Structure 1
Amino acid sequence: MEAGTKLVQAEATETGRVKWRVYFAYFGAIGAAWMAPILVMNLSSQALSIGSNLWLTAWSNDPPLLEESQHIAKRNLRLGVYGALGLAQGVTILLGSLALSLGSLKGAMLLHNGLLHNILRSPMSFFDTTPVGRIVNRFSKDVDTIDLTIPTTVRQCLMYFLQMISVLFIITLTTPIFLVVALPVFFLYYFIQAFYVATSRQLKRLDSVTRSPIYTHFSETLSGVSTIRAYGAQERFVQESHQLIDRNQMCYYPSIISNRWLAVRLEFCGNLIVLSAALFAVFGREHLDGGLVGLSLSYALSITATINWMVRMSCEFETNIVAVERIMEYSRSPTEAAWKVPEAKLPEEWPQGGEVQFRDYSTRYRDGLELTIKDITVSVHPGEKVFF
């Protein structure tokens, strides 16, 4: 049977990488007016974090002062600047989080309104061939992902990426030879991420597709609950619901397993970075600054968690952006004609005689089906009553 003649069309599922137009659609919905302060505030907070740590390192390297007055003045200066840097960092984090929250709210509203606007103007053939569960799935789970999950993932992905740059900057500042080891390790990180995200992304799509029948079955059960009870079919509907849920879990459970697979390999790569930074610090201890070495090692110890979470959040972002992809599918589906068409504007005095004429008129329920009315010509004169 051809696709156009089927009563219910199979749900389309994308394959491969998420298209760039999906990312542009999401960040375009947020808008440059919000993206600019988000980036500026996050960059500023990381710069202030590095500055406060370098200031603390310089403070720890200060030589002891003999006079008490000089010691107090020096201490007050160091403490005041360190406190000001910390306060400024807190303000930038607050403003960055506020900008991201408001921007993501604006983007989610635009995507939701575009989906709602298009669905309300879809032709009847769309509702005939689309189970209600698919529509409910878009307005529930996918919208929830855009409202809550994606903004959190974007914030963490950006935060961990900037933290990773900060760690590499501090370690490279102390031991530049560290770059010799860092570059191969990061190629390994990229390979692991690319291998993982290809699987997790498709599992997310399968999870979304297999969730729609659950909503459809639940909606149909509620609509016909009295009939189901009258025919004693409760157990059959319960079993069907369990089967649909099991099928959905068959797609969800492997995503958890693949996440654990990713964590083990990222831990290994992070430990390689810590080992390299420590070895280079030991080998170059004769000509390295003690304070910077301590700062470098403290940063290196945190890089395992930082890069692990950065890679995982970037994978989560690409996986969850599938929700935007699915909403765009229904936001750009064909709609009915506009209520007013400028090219076919009716005259102001219409109608005059109250007569209706059909000349060689043909129509079908939807594209792909046979004509239900073929080449009819009918005239209905004023005052006549016609029954078909």
Structure 2
Amino acid sequence: MGIVDDYLPSVFIDAIEIGLVVLGIVIVVGIVNPYLLIIGAIVFVIFYLLRIVYLATSVDIKRLEGVTRSPVFTHMNLSLQGLATIRAFGEQEALKNTFDNLQDVHSSAWFMFLASSHTFGFLLDTICVIYICVVTFNFILCENTGSVGSDVGLAITQALAMTEILQWGMRQWCEVENQMTSVERIVEYTQIDNETDHQTRLCIPDKTWPDAGAIEFKNVNMRYDKNLPYVLNDLNFVINPEEKIGIVGRTGAGKSSIISALFQLVPTEGEILIDNQNIDTVLFQHLRSKISIIPQEPVLFSDTLRKNLDPFNNYDDSVLWNALEEVELKGVVSDLPDGLLTKMSEGGSNFSVGQRQLVCLARAIVRKNKILLMDEATANVDPKTDSLIQTTIRRKFNTCTVLTIAHRLQTIIDSDKVLVMDAGTLREFDSPYLLLENKGIFYEMVQQTGTAIADNLYQTAKNAYMKKMKSD
């Protein structure tokens, strides 16, 4: 978008201005000697043919340069994000070698683009010099044309000036063509089919739905594309109202895909029921407004803090202040000059990672939905913020159904139940204590944390289970 908004208009204006100037020069020279219009037409045809050849090459080279540039930036960003891990495992040299290889590929494409540009410029200059020579010698050899000396001088000086601007004009013209690929990509995005509610999605449940928060998966299968394998395979489970469920599994096990299925981000097979209502019949907007989520990476808008907490202006300021107080951000926001109207930078960069996550938690508190999803929400925060988030969730969402995806087993060990995923399949689903007693997959995951931590997790799970049994 930056190219289309800023760069492309200036290049386009340059190309038009220089094109008009060159046209004026050819007309001036032609007025002095009409026969030179024929030479001008021939030169224009040659320029146009060169442009066609150059564009056919440069556009592909530019596209290749863009394709080879993206891995360099991606590698750089990932390396910066994982510096601690890279240094911990001593993989600096391996990352350097990978970067060098990626940069070599990109540099070869970039220098190829420069070489084609320089060759194009050299050919343009050569043709301009030939044109000037033809104009000059025409007046020398054809003395009986009746041209006034001043007119001849004007024609020659204008022809000389053309060499200074023509190469730049042709480059700008070609640059317009090259950068139009950005416009093509935008047009492609505008032609993508919008997510529309299918004819079966006509149901708008009662305003209180869901009033309990029960979730049931019936023979649910899901894949991200019809040509890809299933990421969820025949899932069947029931989550009772107000239950706190931990979802665990290795990378790629299908944990986050369960969230995608609940939000209907991807078409699913089978049935997903929320309070006995098949969500496949509920309007997308209504369904998604009834489920709160705290993602691993906090999602904040480049707008005021108030807009981030209440995007649709449905709540009073007092409700927002109460939510901020619940997550211990009221004091921080009160000290800001603009309070709730404080502008959030892109991605909320003017707040710390922990504070951004707390803002997301406050947003969930404001919505007061009966279902809360947490996608490894405490993976990137400090222990103090982690403890605050867990405490707040236990207090404010004790009557809600909470699904928590976590790599750290300490986060979900005291949950009512743990759902163990493996390769898109449900392997285990029961109380953490009972799963540890059965010594299955969850037991192995706990043992991999080390003897001391495993013993502590076992004791925590046992205490939570006994406490629940007594309360029941």
Report the TM range for the smaller structure's normalisation. Answer: 0.5 to 0.7
C-alpha distance after superposition, 1:203-251 (max 9, x if no partner): 1111111111112212221222111111111111111111111111110
Q: Is structure 2 residue 41 aligned with structure 1 residue 183?
A: yes
| Aligned twin of 1:363 | 221
Pick aligned residue for 1:228 from 86, 92, 106: 86
Q: Report which stretch shifted further, 203-212 or 369-378.
A: 369-378
Structure 1 stretches of 5 or more lacking a match?
Answer: 1-111, 113-142
Amino acid at match of 2:19: F
Q: 1 CA distance for matches of 2:163 and 2:192?
A: 45
Amino acid at match of 1:271: V
Aligned residues with identical type, % of pairs: 24
Q: Is structure 2 residue 97 aligned with structure 1 residue 258?
A: no
Q: Is structure 2 residue 53 aligned with structure 1 residue 195?
A: yes
Q: 2 CA distance for matches of 1:160 and 1:183?
A: 17
Amino acid at match of 1:292: D
| Aligned twin of 1:149 | 7
Higher relative contact order (CA 8 A, sep 6+): 1
Is the CA contact 2:210–2:274 (under 8 Å) kept in the aligned structure 1?
no
Is the CA contact 2:210–2:275 (under 8 Å) kept in the aligned structure 1?
no
Amino acid at match of 1:220: L
Pick aligned residue for 1:295 from 135, 143, 154: 154
Q: 2 CA distance for matches of 1:352 and 1:146?
A: 45
C-alpha distance after superposition, 1:143-187 (max 9, x if no partner): 3x3354323321221111010110011111111111222222222
| Aligned twin of 2:202 | 344
Q: 1:218 and 1:301, CA in 2 relative to 1: closer, same or farther beyond 3 A?
A: same
| Aligned twin of 2:129 | 271
C-alpha distance after superposition, 1:92-117 (max 9, x if no partner): xxxxxxxxxxxxxxxxxxxx4xxxxx
Structure with the higher strand share, 1 or 2 = 2
Is the CA contact 1:196–1:258 (under 8 Å) kept in the aligned structure 2?
yes
Q: Report which stretch shifted further, 160-169 or 185-194.
A: 185-194
TM-score by length of 2: 0.46
Q: Report which stretch shifted further, 328-337 or 310-319.
A: 328-337
| Aligned twin of 2:25 | 167
Amino acid at match of 1:177: Y
Instruction: Give the aligned length.
Output: 245
Q: 1:270 and 1:329, CA in 2 relative to 1: closer, same or farther beyond 3 A?
A: same
| Aligned twin of 2:163 | 304
| Aligned twin of 1:71 | none
Is the CA contact 1:359–1:377 (under 8 Å) kept in the aligned structure 2?
yes
Q: 2 CA distance for matches of 1:326 and 1:381?
A: 42
| Aligned twin of 1:319 | 178
Report the CA distance between 1:292 and its aligned residue. Answer: 2.2
Amino acid at match of 2:222: R
Q: 2 CA distance for matches of 1:249 and 1:175?
A: 48
Is the CA contact 2:75–2:99 (under 8 Å) kept in the aligned structure 1?
yes
After TM superposition, the structure 1 = structure 2 runs for residues 1-388 of structure 1, keeping only pairs within 5 Å, are: 112=1, 143=2, 145-282=3-140, 283-285=142-144, 287-329=146-188, 333=192, 336-337=195-196, 344-346=202-204, 351=209, 362-367=220-225, 368-371=227-230, 372-374=232-234
Q: 1:384 and 1:284, CA in 2 relative to 1: closer, same or farther beyond 3 A?
A: closer
Is the CA contact 1:277–1:297 (under 8 Å) kept in the aligned structure 2?
yes
TM-score by length of 1: 0.55
